[in-house]
Amino acid sequence: MSVIRGHWSLDDRLERILREVPFEVPEGAPAVTVRLSYDRSQGVLDLGCGGPGGFRGWSGGARDSYTITPGWATPGYLPGELEAGQWQVWLRLHRVPPQGLDYTLEIDTAPVPEPESAEPPHGERPPRRDIPDVGGLRWFAGDFHAHTLHSDGALTVAELAELALGRGLDFLAVTDHNTVSHHPELAKAGRAITLLPGQEVTTDRGHANVFGDVGWVDFRQPADSWVEHADRAGGLISINHPLGGDCAWLQPLTERPRIAEVWHSGWWDRRWGAPLAWADAWHPDLVAIGASDFHRPGSDGLPGSPTTWVLAEDPGAAFDAVAAGRTAISAGPGAPLLLRLGDELLALDADGLILVRPGGARQVIRGDRVLLPAAEGRHRLETYENEVMALCA
C-alpha cells in the first residue's frame, strides 16, 4: 500500500479546480483501491479516477473510497482490465477554506472480495389513467432525473426501478453524476418499467443531463463541449434546475439547448413564477420537462414528483418525443393533468382549476374530464392563487 499526503489551498482551487494525483499500478494487479481522508467539517473534495485509457469512474463527494477490478467495481466506477502504468486519483476541490485543506490518499492493489447483492422484492404498477391515443401514439408517464448508488443516491438501480414502478411510472431516466457505470444495469433492472440511460454532467456552476447511450461526457471540459458531444452522439442535453440554489445554471454557452428542466422538485412554492419566466427568456422554442431529482426517500421528490408525460410509440421512445416537443408535466402520476390531443386539450381531474392560454387568457375548468380547443404554445393549469398545477407544450 502507498500513502500520499498533501495540502490544497484556496489559491489552488481558484487556479484549477480539478486535480490529478498520479499513482502506479503494477502489471497483473488484481484490484485498485483508493481511500481518501480529510476533515469534512472544513471542506469538500470530490473523488474520481482516471486510468491510462481515460475515465474509470466518479463518485464526487458521496464516497471516500472506491475499488476497481477486472470483474466488478464500486458503483460509479467502471470494471475492466487494470492496465499497468500511471493512473490518477481525480480530486475536485469543491470547497476549500481560506486556511486550506490537508488530505491523505491510501492506494492499495491487493485483491478484494466482491460484495454480495440481492434483488429487491417485486411489486405491481398501479392502474393506468384513461387517456386516449393520438394518431397511433400514447401518453406515457415518467421522470427524467434520478440517482442511485452509482453516485449520491441511496438505492441500487433495481431498487429505484421498483420504487418508480410502484409510483405508476412507465419510464425513468437514470442520471447519476458524471458517470455511466449504471448504464449496464438498466436493461436487467427494468423488469416492468423502461429505464433510460442518462448522466448528470455536474459542476459547481451548473448541472445538465445528457440523455442517451452516448458514452461518458467529460465534465471537466467547457459546457459547449457537452452540447457538441450530445449532438455528435445522437443524444439530448437538458439544462437542470436552472434556478436551483447553489447549483443554479451559471455556465456560459454559445448555443442554448432547447430542452430544460423547468419543473424540478425544488420548486417548493409554485406560485413563484420565476421558473416560467426563465423558460420564456431562455429559448423561444423551449421544450419543458419535469424531474424529481430523486436521491433517497425523504430527500428531493419521489420518482414522478413531478411527472413528465411524453406522447410516444412506447416508453423507450421517450427521448424522441422530447426532441419533438411532445411533453406535458403534472405534479405527480395521479395529479391534475393537461394534455394535447391534436387540436384539443384534455384536462383531467382539474375541476375548479384555471386554464391559462399562451396569450394570457384564462378560463375555469368545470368537470373532471374536459376537452378544450388548443392554441400554439405552452398552456398551464393553475389554482385561484396562481399555483402551477400542470404544464402542456
Q: pLDDT of 223-276, one tens digit each? A: 999 999 999 999 999 999 999 988 999 999 999 999 999 999 999 999 999 999
The answer on 218 and 92 residing in a single domain is no
Instruction: Give the residue among 207, 189, 88, 81 at the shortest CA–CA distance from 144.
Output: 207
Mean pLDDT value across residues 70-75: 97
Name the domain boundary from 335, 357, 386: 335
Do 215 and 73 belong to one domain? no
In a domain, 245, yes or no: yes
Buried b (16+ CB within 10 A) or exposed e, 334-357: bbbbbbbbeeebbbbbbeebbbbb
CA distance 178 to 163: 23
Question: Contact at 8 Å (CB) between 172 and 164?
Answer: yes
Residue 105 in grid coordinates: 490518499
Q: Is residue 72 part of a domain?
A: yes
The pLDDT of 27-46, averaged and rounded, is 98
Q: What is the pLDDT of residue 250?
A: 97
Closest CA to 190 of 152, 223, 160: 160
H or E, element range at 195:
strand 194-203
Is the predicted pLDDT of residue 152 greater than 90, yes or no? yes
* Percent of all residues in the chain with a pLDDT value above 70, rounded to a whole number: 100
State how far the alpha carbon of 137 is from the alpha carbons of 193, 278, 307, in Å: 18, 30, 18
Query: Do both 198 and 321 map to the same domain?
Result: yes
**Number of domains into which the chain is organized:** 2
Query: Is 374 inside a domain boundary?
Result: no
What pLDDT score was predicted for residue 46? 98
| Last-in-domain residue among 335, 362, 382 | 335
Q: Which pLDDT band, with edges at 50, 70 and 90, does 299 fall under?
A: confident
Give the integer Cα–Cα distance in Å for 287 and 209: 14
Establish if 123 belongs to a structural domain: no
**Residue-range definition of the domain harbouring residue 286:** 138-335
d(CA 110, CA 366): 69
Q: Bridge-partner residues for 44, per DSSP? A: 95
Residue-wise over 100-112: b if at least 16 C-beta within 10 A, else e?
bbebebebbbeeb
Of 285, 315, 335, the domain-final residue: 335
The mean pLDDT of the chain is 96
Instruction: Calculate Rg over the CA atoms of the chain.
Output: 22
DSSP state of 202: E
CATH for 331: 3.20.20.140
pLDDT above 90 (res 324): yes
pLDDT grade, residue 190 (50/70/90)?
Answer: confident
Residue 273 dihedral angles phi and psi, to the nearest 5°: -85, 5
Same domain, 163 and 272: yes
- The residue-averaged pLDDT of 144-150 equals 98
Residue 316 has pLDDT above 90, yes or no: yes
Q: What would the pLDDT profile of 78-122 be if each residue is shown by its tens digit? A: 999 999 999 999 999 999 999 999 999 999 999 999 998 888 888
| Structure confidence at residue 62 as a pLDDT band (50, 70, 90) | very high
Q: Tens digits of per-residue pLDDT, 1-16?
A: 999 999 999 999 999 9
CA 77, 61, 110, 53 dihedral sign is positive
The answer on 7 and 104 residing in a single domain is: yes
